[in-house]
């Protein structure tokens, strides 16, 4: 799946979320082939968290939470919109589903 275009990965993630009984929505579309993806994970109680895949110095991929100090969807939205102004290739997808991280690992960020 590592050679799949980003647009296809995002679509696969959205379908996996829906199959798990959740909802997913693309908030910002980036480069179809290779854009970076931020995941805005929303819990049913309104808790919002932002995740992204990065590589460490040894080239290993890991999923990290961005801005864990920010509380609420509005603060995280301000953050990702600022990033998007600097990187128009950035994708942002919102998911409301139990345990979105494993679904993202299997689709958005699979090697």
Percent of the residues in the chain that have a pLDDT greater than 70, as a whole number: 98
pLDDT of residue 1: 52
Tally the domains of the chain.
1
- Which residue did the predictor score with more confidence, 108 or 82? 82
**Mean pLDDT for the stretch of residues 34-48:** 88
74 assigned to some structural domain: yes
Residue-wise pLDDT for 58-89, tens only, equals 888 788 899 999 878 889 999 999 999 999 99
1 assigned to some structural domain: no
pLDDT of residue 94: 95
81 assigned to some structural domain: yes
Q: Give the domain extent around 87.
A: 6-106
Sign of CA dihedral 17, 21, 27, 29: positive
CA dihedral 76, 78, 83, 86 (to 10 degrees): 180
Residue 5: C-alpha distances to residues 10, 37, 40, 106, 107 (Å)? 9, 12, 20, 15, 11
| CATH number of the domain where residue 92 is located | 3.40.1530.20
63 assigned to some structural domain: yes
Residue 56: C-alpha distances to residues 3, 10, 67, 94, 107 (Å)? 20, 23, 18, 25, 20
111 assigned to some structural domain: no
């Amino acid at each position: 799946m590592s050679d799949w275009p980003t647009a296809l990965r995002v679509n696969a993630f959205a379908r996996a979320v829906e199959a798990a009984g959740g909802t997913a929505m693309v908030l910002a579309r980036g480069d179809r082939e290779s854009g970076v993806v931020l995941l805005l994970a929303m819990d049913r109680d309104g808790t919002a968290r932002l995740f992204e895949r990065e590589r460490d110095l040894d080239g290993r991929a890991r999923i990290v939470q961005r801005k864990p100090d920010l509380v609420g969807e509005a603060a995280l939205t301000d953050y990702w919109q600022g990033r998007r102004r600097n990187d128009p290739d950035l994708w942002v997808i919102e998911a409301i589903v139990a345990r979105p991280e494993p679904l993202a690992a299997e689709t958005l960020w699979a090697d």
